[in-house]
Amino acid sequence: MPGGDMGMQRSRYTWIVPKGVDLVSNLLTQPFQHIFSLTLSCYIITTFDTCTFLHLFLRFAVIGPLLGILALVLLPVATAGFLLWILLNHFGASNIQPFRLTTPDEGDGENSMFSSECPQRFTFMSANVICVPEFIVRINNVRNVYWRMKEIARRFLKQNRDLNIPNLLNHVQEEKLIQDKLPEVDVMMLQEVSDWWANYSLVSSLTALYPYIIYDVGVHSFGTNCFLMGSGLFLASRYPVLAVNFHPYHNILHYGHLVSIGVLTAKLDLGTVPGKDGEELRGVGYVSNTHTQAYQGKKMVIARQLTELQEAVRQFISETHNPDKEVIIFSVVGGDFNFDNMSPGDRPTRIHPLFTEYEDPCRECEGEDKHWAVGTEHRQRQLSHPAVSNPTIFKHILMNKVERRKFIIDADILEQTSDLMYSSPKIDPATGELMDVMGGGGRRIDLLLLRAGDRVRLASYWFLTTIASLSDHLPVAMMVERIDEDQCWKEQERRGSDSMNDDRALQGME
Active-site residue set:
473
DSSP 259: B
For residue 425, give the DSSP letter: -
Q: What are phi and psi of 187, to 5 degrees?
A: -135, 125
Report the half-sphere exposure of 2 (CA within 13 A, side-chain side).
Answer: 5
DSSP structural state of residue 106: T
DSSP state of 208: T
Amino acid identity, residue 43? Answer: Y
Cβ–Cβ under 8 Å, residues 328 and 455:
yes
**Residues β-bridged to residue 283:** 271, 327
Nearest partner of 423 among 406, 439, 446, 437, judged by Cα: 406
Q: Quick check: 445 and 296 in contact, CB under 8 A?
A: no
Torsion angles phi and psi, residue 378, rounded to 5: -70, 155
Beta-bridge mates of residue 128: 191
First-to-last CA distance in the chain?
Answer: 27
Q: For Cα atoms 239, 288, 146, give the angle at the middle one, nearest 5 degrees.
A: 80
How far is 223 from 248, CA to CA, in rounded Å?
10
Measured CA to CA, the distance from residue 378 to residue 474 in angstroms comes to 7
- For the beta carbon of residue 384, count every other beta carbon within 10 angstroms: 16
